[in-house]
């Protein structure tokens, strides 16, 4: 695979409208959920992302038939295998969310244990604890989780870990419980909107779920689920990224197809920094209102400030005079972007789970590289603000989670080019 880079000639304020795509972190578990039924499911507003392609490959390797036309996916898993291979799972940690559906539907699952990634260790102990609470027997050997659950039945499970609830763990337990006998109560469930969106889809399939979006979710198992249609929620992280880029470049950007209620923590911080936000006829417009002020941010599970927006916000804060402190409470080593922003002229010091940003130092274009999706987005924002040309290398990370990012930025007036390196 040829590696691609993004060349950004900075200093242009972003202006115009951009359509927000369907949410990556909603569509991935939703695609896995289609394994719960032998009937055909249709998912609309599916973003064109590398991670979606990886999930398609996983579903196909498990025996599902997948048709992909435009932004619609039609998936039919009439017959299923029970084993998800390392080759697919290693590419994407989100693939762990086939565990719950396989266990629910075929009462047996063998899924390669996902490795850690650049944002730190990514344990799955809580997922397994959830499966055990449903009566499954779980063993991890030879790099695979093997779970069997002939008598899968409802149970009570607490899914809080050292950093709060687990998002995909909640999705996994909800999906397995949908076909278990009896009632499951998940305490300390993740409240992320992606979980609520998954529950809406599962309910359309016939699942009985109450409380999704709150810390207590109750699932009453049913014998069978049927096919369903669903449109994926808008990507709140993509929306936040373009909103921050608008403020960072002193531009004015209107986001179409967003849900402001998913963005409250981000809007609150952008307001404190000095952004002006207008919401009219389903669109949101972001620009700078006044001189920017530094802020302190702590990432937390939803409805707190999202860890997935921390890096982009750091890029903005490098240009806000004064000292901002960012504390990362979800993935404590998620600061790789700090060193790369530093190469562009930013003054950021990482001390344990906090980054101290001394804002206001000029950024100049440089070659940079990030090894995680959101860190790469931060470098793009850095490049858009910087003087001169920034080359963001290895943009396959961006392509995992941002649909056509170069086209969308060009549509807003940015001087951005994709090139082979
Ligand atoms: N954790 C445990 N034990 C577990 C699972 C998680 O201790 O069994 C810890 C993690 O180490 C972390 C915290 O719990 O400290 C939260 O992790 P979580 O399980 O919620 O993360 P995830 O479900 O694997 C999803 C998103 C991430 C996003 C996090 C947090 C998907 C596909 N991924 O991951 O998205 O950062 O929730 O909101 O939904 C991204 O899009 O760039 C991304 C990394």
In a shared domain, residues 274 and 377: yes
In a shared domain, residues 47 and 70: yes
In a shared domain, residues 347 and 396: yes
pLDDT for 334 equals 93
pLDDT for 305 equals 98
Rounded to the nearest angstrom, the distance between the alpha carbon of 153 and the centre of ligand 1 is 26
Mean residue pLDDT across the chain: 95
CA 62 from chain center: how many Å? 23
pLDDT for 322 equals 98
Q: What is the per-residue pLDDT across 388-405, written as a single tens digit (0 to 9) for each?
A: 999 999 999 999 999 999
In a shared domain, residues 76 and 179: yes
* Range from 78-82, 186-190, 226-230 carrying the lowest mean pLDDT: 78-82
pLDDT for 313 equals 98
Domain at 225, CATH number: 3.65.10.10
Domain boundaries, position 324: 4-21+234-420
pLDDT for 370 equals 79
Q: Which of 231, 252, 267 is the last residue of a domain?
A: 231
Percent of the chain with pLDDT over 70: 98
In a shared domain, residues 156 and 118: yes
Mean of pLDDT values over 126-137: 98
374 lines ligand 1 (CB under 6 A): yes
314 lines ligand 1 (CB under 6 A): no
In a shared domain, residues 263 and 186: no
Rounded to the nearest angstrom, the distance between the alpha carbon of 365 and the centre of ligand 1 is 32
Given a cut of 90, is residue 298 above it in pLDDT? yes
Instruction: Print the SS3 string covering the chain.
Output: CCCEEEEEECCCCCEEEEECCECHHHHHHHHHHHHHCCCEEEEECCCCCHHHHHHHHHHHHCCCEEEEECCEEEEECCCCCCEECHHHHCCCHHHHHHHHHHHHHHCEEEEECCCCECCECCCCHHHHHHHHHCCCEEEEECCEEEEECCCCECCEEECEECCEECHHHHHHHHHHHCCCECEEEEECCCCCHHHHHHHHHHHHCCCEEECECECEEEEECCCCCCCCEEECCECHHHHHHHHHHHHHCCCEEEEECCCHHHCHHHHHHHHHHCEEEEEECCEEEEEECCCCCCCEEEECCCCCECHHHHHHHHHHHCCCCEEEEEECCCCCCCCHHHHHHHHCCCEEEEECCEEEEEECCCCECCEEECCCHHHHHHHHHHHHHCECEEEEECCHHHHHHCCCHHHHHHHCCCEEEEEEC
pLDDT band at 311; cut points 50, 70, 90: very high
167 lines ligand 1 (CB under 6 A): yes
Pocket-testing residue among 94, 119, 168, 175, ligand 1, by greatest number of atoms within 8 A of Cβ = 168
In a shared domain, residues 28 and 171: yes
Given a cut of 60, is residue 1 above it in pLDDT? no
Q: What is the per-residue pLDDT across 62-77, written as a single tens digit (0 to 9) for each?
A: 999 999 999 999 999 9
Q: Which of 231, 258, 290 is the last residue of a domain?
A: 231
Mean of pLDDT values over 281-298: 94
**Residues 6 or more apart whose Cβ sits within 8 Å of residue 78:** 38, 65
**Residues 6 or more apart whose Cβ sits within 8 Å of residue 281:** none
Is 41 marked active-site?
Answer: no
Mean of pLDDT values over 175-189: 98
Rounded to the nearest angstrom, the distance between the alpha carbon of 351 and the centre of ligand 1 is 22
* Domains: count for the chain: 2
pLDDT for 86 equals 66
Q: What is the per-residue pLDDT across 75-113, written as a single tens digit (0 to 9) for each?
A: 999 999 877 776 777 778 888 999 999 999 999 999 988
In a shared domain, residues 167 and 70: yes
The minimum-distance atom of ligand 1 relative to the CA of 190 is 20
Q: Which of 197, 216, 231 is the last residue of a domain?
A: 231
The minimum-distance atom of ligand 1 relative to the CA of 194 is 39
The minimum-distance atom of ligand 1 relative to the CA of 168 is 23
Mean of pLDDT values over 226-231: 98
Percent of the chain with pLDDT over 90: 88
pLDDT for 282 equals 87
Given a cut of 90, is residue 343 above it in pLDDT? yes
pLDDT for 247 equals 98
Rounded to the nearest angstrom, the distance between the alpha carbon of 330 and the centre of ligand 1 is 8
In a shared domain, residues 322 and 402: yes
Mean of pLDDT values over 3-28: 97
307 lines ligand 1 (CB under 6 A): yes
In a shared domain, residues 15 and 126: no
pLDDT for 289 equals 87
The minimum-distance atom of ligand 1 relative to the CA of 237 is 41
Pocket-testing residue among 166, 262, 403, ligand 1, by greatest number of atoms within 8 A of Cβ = 166
In a shared domain, residues 199 and 248: no
pLDDT for 84 equals 75
Q: 334-362 in b/e burial notation, b at 16+ Cβ within 10 A?
A: bbbbbebbbbbbbebebeebbbebbbbbe
Q: What is the spatial distance between Cα 48 and Cα 51, in angstroms, rounded to a whole number?
A: 9
In a shared domain, residues 29 and 14: no
127 lines ligand 1 (CB under 6 A): yes
pLDDT for 296 equals 98
């Amino acid at each position: 695979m040829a590696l691609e880079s993004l060349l950004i000639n900075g200093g242009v304020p972003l202006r115009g409208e951009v359509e927000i795509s369907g949410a990556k972190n909603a569509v991935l578990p939703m695609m896995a959920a289609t394994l719960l039924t032998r009937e055909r499911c249709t998912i609309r507003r599916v973003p064109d992302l590398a991670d979606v392609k990886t999930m398609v490959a996983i579903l196909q390797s498990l025996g599902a038939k997948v048709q992909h036309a435009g932004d619609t996916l039609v998936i039919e898993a009439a017959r299923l295998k029970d084993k998800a291979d390392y080759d697919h799972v290693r590419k994407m940690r989100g693939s762990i969310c086939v565990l719950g559906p396989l266990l629910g539907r075929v009462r047996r699952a063998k899924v390669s244990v996902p490795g850690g990634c650049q944002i730190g260790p990514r344990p799955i102990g809580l997922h397994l604890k959830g499966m055990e609470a449903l009566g499954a027997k779980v063993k991890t050997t030879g790099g695979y989780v093997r779970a069997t659950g002939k008598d899968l039945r409802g149970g009570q499970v607490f899914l809080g870990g050292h950093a709060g609830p687990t998002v995909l763990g909640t999705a996994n337990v909800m999906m397995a419980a949908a076909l278990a006998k009896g009632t499951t109560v998940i305490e300390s469930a993740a409240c992320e909107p992606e979980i609520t969106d998954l529950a809406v889809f599962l309910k359309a399939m016939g699942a009985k779920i109450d409380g999704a979006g709150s810390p207590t979710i109750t699932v009453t198992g049913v014998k069978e689920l049927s096919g369903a249609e669903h449109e994926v929620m808008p990507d709140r992280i993509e929306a936040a990224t373009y909103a921050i880029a608008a403020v960072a470049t002193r531009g004015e950007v209107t986001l179409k197809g967003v849900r402001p209620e998913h963005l409250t923590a981000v809007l609150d911080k952008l307001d404190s920094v000095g952004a002006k936000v207008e919401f009219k006829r389903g669109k949101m417009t972001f620009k700078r209102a006044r001189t920017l002020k530094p802020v302190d941010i702590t990432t937390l599970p939803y409805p707190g400030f999202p860890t997935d927006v921390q890096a982009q916000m750091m890029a903005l804060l490098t240009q806000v005079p004064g000292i901002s402190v960012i504390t990362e409470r979800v993935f404590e080593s998620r600061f790789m972007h700090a060193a790369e922003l530093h190469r562009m002229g930013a003054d950021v010091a990482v001390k344990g789970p906090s980054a101290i940003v001394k804002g206001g130092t000029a950024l100049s274009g440089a070659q940079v590289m990030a090894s995680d999706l959101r860190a790469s987005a931060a470098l793009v924002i850095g490049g858009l603000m910087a003087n001169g040309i920034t080359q963001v290398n290895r943009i396959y990370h961006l392509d995992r989670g941002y649909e056509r990012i170069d086209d969308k930025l060009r549509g807003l007036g940015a001087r951005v080019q994709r090139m082979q390196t």
